[in-house]
Structure 1
Amino acid sequence: MTTSTSWAAAHRRVLDGFSAGWHRPDPHAWDDILAEDVEFTQPLLRPGTGPVHWHEEARRLLVLAPDLRGEVVAWAARDDVMFIDVRLSATVGGAPLTVRSVDELRVTPSGTIARRDASFDWWPVALAVLARPRAWWRWWRSGVGPLLGRRRLLPV
């Protein structure tokens, strides 16, 4: 739901780019909708600023779950704030895993994301990795948290 018609085009641009990026994730899939100084916070990944930071974190996600996909379930927006409910699905350790995330986005009038705060319950992801030994090596190589300190042991 958009409450301000002056923001409608910006919301549509962000929603379309966000949805397309999760339909076929790649570290650069969201480049067209990321502001140069975009800020990120999300469970299991390092907070940071800029598209290059996101490229690295997205790459880590795809090391852990190469078949990761997302589907927008619902969204709402008012002026520079958008909420997008996305269902993320992947295979982790040979078994399916589905997680729902709600992303709060701060958007610009031109339709780029200035800030992304993702919120989801990360325990099902951690438990899936722990319970599935086939996932351990991918998880270790990915650098996805918890235990983000192990990143210094991984090749750059």
Structure 2
Amino acid sequence: MSDAEFVERFTEAWRRMDPDAFTPLFRPDVRLVHPLDRNTRGVEEARAFMARTMTLVPDLRYDVQGWASGSGQVLIWGRLHGTLGGGPVEWPLVDRIVLEDGLVAERTAYFDPLVIIGTLVRRPRAWLPYLRTRLGRR
């Protein structure tokens, strides 16, 4: 699979908003690194992370604005947006993805976590859903 085909499949997985849409893109030992959650290892942990994220922001969308590739890596950048605690939330994101045999070996998400934390603090309606996603991972 070419890098362009991978980006299209990754973008389509986000359009579907289904954690299972991502699992075919992952190597069995995939590693996900993100600033607001512990790092995950393996497809099941990665799927659970995606499910928690989609539960917290059920209308979450990733508008891909561009991508570049080289040296076995793909950079995808854009904006995530949705509704959290009854109001809109939006933040820029860059994903650095290491591919092996056309599958994600590692994904590192780069974004400012203060956008999410600030939104959570200012919106009490988001507190219980956030706590449920945190407790659900145990």
**1:15-94 alignment runs, 5 A limit:** 15-94=7-86
Residues matched between the structures, number: 138
Structure ID, larger Rg: 1
Distance 1:70 1:119, change over 3 A: same
Distance 1:155 1:43, change over 3 A: closer
Deviation at 1:79, TM superposition (A): 3.5
**SS of residue in 1 equivalent to 2:20:** coil
1:10 aligns with 2:10: no
What residue is the counterpart of 1:136 in the other structure? 127
Deviation at 1:155, TM superposition (A): 7.7
1: CA distance, partners of 2:2 / 2:24: 12
Deviation at 1:13, TM superposition (A): 2.6
What TM-score do you get using the length of structure 2 for normalisation?
0.93
Asked if 2 retains the 8 angstrom alpha-carbon contact of 1:10 and 1:107, the reply is no
Higher strand share: 2
**SS of residue in 2 equivalent to 1:46:** coil
Cα deviation digits, residues 19-65 of structure 1 (max 9, x gap): 01111221111122111111110111220211111111111112211
- Show structure 1 runs of 5+ residues with no match: 1-8, 144-150
Cα deviation digits, residues 66-123 of structure 1 (max 9, x gap): 1111111110001301100031111011111111110111112x32111111110010
Asked if 2 retains the 8 angstrom alpha-carbon contact of 1:23 and 1:71, the reply is no
- Show structure 2 runs of 5+ residues with no match: none
What residue is the counterpart of 2:108 in the other structure? 117
1: CA distance, partners of 2:122 / 2:8: 35
